[in-house]
Amino acid sequence: MNFWEMFYKNKLALTGCSIVLFLFVVSLLAPVIAPYDPGAIDLKNVLAPPSGQHWFGTDQLGRDVLSRMIWGARISLKVGFVATGLAILIGMILGAVAGYYGGWIDATIMRFVDVMLCFPTFFLILAVIAFLEPSIWNIMIVIGLTGWMGVTRLVRADFISLRERDFVQAARAIGANDARIIFMHILPNALASILVAATLGIAGAILTESALSFLGIGVQPPTPSWGNILTAGKDNIDIAWWLSLYPGLAILITVVGYNLLGEGIRDAADPRLKR
Amino acid sequence: MSTYLIKRVLFMIPLLLGITIICFFVMRLAPGSPTDLQTQMNPKASAEMKERLMSMYELDKPIHVQYWSWLKKLGRGDLGTSFSSDHRPVSDKILERLPITILINFLSLLIIIVVAVPIGVLSAVHQDSLFDKVTTVLVFIGFAVPTFWLALLLMIFFGISLGWLPISGLRSLNYEYLSAWEQLVDLAKHLILPVFISAFGGLAGLSRYMRANMLEVIRQDYILTARAKGLSERQVIYKHALRNALLPAITILGLSIPGLIGGSVIFETIFAIPGMGQLFYMSVMARDYPTVMGILLIGAILTLVGNLIADVSYALADPRIRIS
């Protein structure tokens, strides 16, 4: 069975895929489908519970929570992709170099990975972002810069097992240089595991972003993000449960979606890994 | 064994140096300075006053000189003085808040072990049973739940709707008038939600890991041998299989320590618990460099020590591993 057949038969993977596609569509069409302007303040309608007009209620400034969540989907998608893209890029290059060359280069890179891994990363992210002035770009960069270690290990392991294979020897024999062998010959064989790591990484990045925004050092209001709606939920915890419930549910469903998709890709790409 | 321990502890020194260098430089290279916060709100603050503050905090010197003087002080056990208005020694500020953070993290580790191990074992032994399916789904959701959101929901449900549990702080207002036993009960009530929240993430991870391990172990030949000898299923599972499945879990626990410590920022902020995480959040917001550096250092040490304990207990538990 090929990849697509395997993937197609996996109902959970398809569910994950649909969730992710749905979020893409929602983010893309945010200006069209959001029932209200996400920034429109309505002081006559502050903290209104869910109703026919406002399905998910309104926040402390009378803004429509559903509309803010729809626009928030854009933010989480952006953060997830850019942060993970950066982490994958760094991890891929470092892992490829470490695995391909071995020796002291490998040892140095892997020690650096160890240092980064035994660190309460969230502390570092928090400190750096708070000092750099919170902004969506800083968040993406910092999450990316602290999330590449897993990818490095993965790519390195793939490279170590692939570098002595015949096709690499053959490429070397016809005079391909190192860069060509690494990027054109070995890396394509490691793509499946990188893709899985990327999908799961997006889920992690979205979780981190929402936690940072919740603490007030992520995406800054008035820009809506799921995390900062939850901050309002905490401030009004005894009167407005809807501010806490729905954005968190959105984060949960999104993360479940990416995780299902990632595991689906893994099972389809390498049935031996299926647990 | 003792040489191994000494080696590991010595290896922690360059690791800690690396970590502190990264933190120090990243922090100081960020734009803005702590003196901004103190002078911005004061229209009388002159450029001269700002300079005096800068030189008082040694912020006018080159960054490597600053790092070196921080390191020299550290060598004498001095973490410096806080930039905040109380100007207390950083070590005092951290030490008075450390016990509660360690207590909560320790309790959550305990809960993770006590709950996750049986769940993992039972769902592996009864693979594909209803219990297994339900826990698999729960674990999957557990991985995806933002813990701070779960904290909010539990606060709404148990704290506000039902009114069973307090939702902030460590003590009730009437704490001083309670008997010793009531004080303990009061503290325990305040700790239930924070401990559960901080354990939650690890629960999902460890139980899934235990399940995978157990599934692998019960397919081994020695389990078949144990069954062939006529041992009862109980003995096979709990004596022969469990021990071997438990070993690798120790390492996972060691690796989960950074997450636990990092998580304390979130749950201490949500539940208003006066611990290290909350101090970190406040110091970061106030650009209190010495306190932030001090907590980063303590956090890194706790993590390294946790990993070391995990590795050592792994070696003690598994006779096949010889440390030399």
Q: Report the pLDDT value the prediction gives residue A104, as an integer from 0 to 100.
A: 92
Which amino acid is located at A138 in the chain? N
Residue A221: pLDDT band with limits 50, 70, 90? confident
Count of Cβ atoms closer than 10 Å to residue A13 Cβ: 21
Structure tokens at A116: 């980064």
Closest to A66 in 3D by CA, of A250, A257, A206: A250
Nearest-angstrom CA–CA distance, A18 and A30? 18
Residue B200, helix vs strand vs coil = helix
* B156 inside 8 A of chain A by CB: yes
Q: Are A259 and B300 inside 8 Å of each other by CB?
A: no
With tokens 């790519």, the residue in question is A155
Q: Which backbone phi and psi does A2 adopt, to 5 degrees?
A: -85, 180
Which class for B29: exposed (0-12), middle (13-18), buried (19 or more C-beta within 10 A)? exposed
Which amino acid is located at A152 in the chain? T
Q: Report the pLDDT value the prediction gives residue B220, as an integer from 0 to 100.
A: 85
* pLDDT of residue B30 exceeding 80: no
Q: How many residues does chain A have?
A: 275
Q: Report the pLDDT value the prediction gives residue A251, as an integer from 0 to 100.
A: 93
Q: Are B30 and A114 inside 8 Å of each other by CB?
A: no
Residue A54, helix vs strand vs coil = coil
User: Which residues of chain B are within 8 Å of residue A133 when distances are taken between CB atoms?
Assistant: 31-32
User: Once rounded to an integer, what is the mean pLDDT over residues B68-73?
Assistant: 85
Residue of chain B nearest A200, judged by CA positions: B144
Cα three-residue angle A162-A167-A173, rounded to 5 degrees: 120
Query: Using one digit for the tens of pLDDT, what is the confidence trace for B292-307?
Result: 888 888 888 888 888 7
Count of Cβ atoms closer than 10 Å to residue B164 Cβ: 10
Q: Which residue has the higher pLDDT, B29 or A172?
A: A172
Query: Using one digit for the tens of pLDDT, what is the confidence trace for B235-259?
Result: 888 888 888 888 777 777 777 777 7
Q: Which of B140, B269, B292 sits opposite A256 (nearest CB)?
A: B140
* B32 inside 8 A of chain A by CB: yes
Query: Using one digit for the tens of pLDDT, what is the confidence trace for A99-129?
Result: 999 889 998 998 888 778 777 777 878 878 8
Query: Using one digit for the tens of pLDDT, what is the confidence trace for A1-45?
Result: 677 777 777 788 888 899 999 999 999 988 888 888 888 787 888
* pLDDT of residue A152 exceeding 90: yes
Q: Report the pLDDT value the prediction gives residue B209, as an integer from 0 to 100.
A: 86
Cα radius of gyration (chain A): 22
**Element housing A88 (H / E):** helix A65-101
Q: Are B266 and A215 inside 8 Å of each other by CB?
A: yes
Q: Are B152 and A133 inside 8 Å of each other by CB?
A: no
Query: Using one digit for the tens of pLDDT, what is the confidence trace for A41-57?
Result: 878 888 888 887 888 88
Query: Using one digit for the tens of pLDDT, what is the confidence trace for B128-182?
Result: 888 888 888 888 888 889 988 999 889 888 888 888 888 777 777 777 777 788 8
Note every long-range contact of A169-178, with CB atoms under 8 Å and residues 24 or more positions apart, other chains counting.
A178/A100
Highest mean pLDDT among A160-169, A199-208, B48-57: A199-208
Nearest-angstrom CA–CA distance, A146 and B42? 37
A222 preceded by cis ω (within 30°)? yes
* A248 inside 8 A of chain B by CB: yes
User: Which residues of chain B are within 8 Å of residue A245 when distances are taken between CB atoms?
Assistant: 153
Report how far Cα B134 is from the mean position of its chain's Cα atoms: 28
Whole-prediction pTM value?
Answer: 0.84
Q: Report the pLDDT value the prediction gives residue A244, as an integer from 0 to 100.
A: 87
Residue A88: pLDDT band with limits 50, 70, 90? very high
Q: Report the pLDDT value the prediction gives residue A275, as an integer from 0 to 100.
A: 43
Closest to B103 in 3D by CA, of B183, B194, B189, B200: B194
Q: Are B19 and A256 inside 8 Å of each other by CB?
A: no
Q: Which of A131, A230, A234 sits opposite B30 (nearest CB)?
A: A131
Write b or e for each residue in B293-311: b if 16 or more Cβ atoms lie within 10 A of its Cβ, otherwise e: bbbbbbbbebbbebbbebb
* A252 inside 8 A of chain B by CB: yes
With tokens 């899985």, the residue in question is A196
Contact A240, B156 (CB under 8 A): no
Report how far Cα B20 is from the mean position of its chain's Cα atoms: 18
* Average pLDDT of chain B to the nearest whole number: 82
Q: Which of B15, B160, B284 sits opposite A115 (nearest CB)?
A: B15
Report how far Cα B137 is from the mean position of its chain's Cα atoms: 26
Nearest-angstrom CA–CA distance, A214 and B269? 10
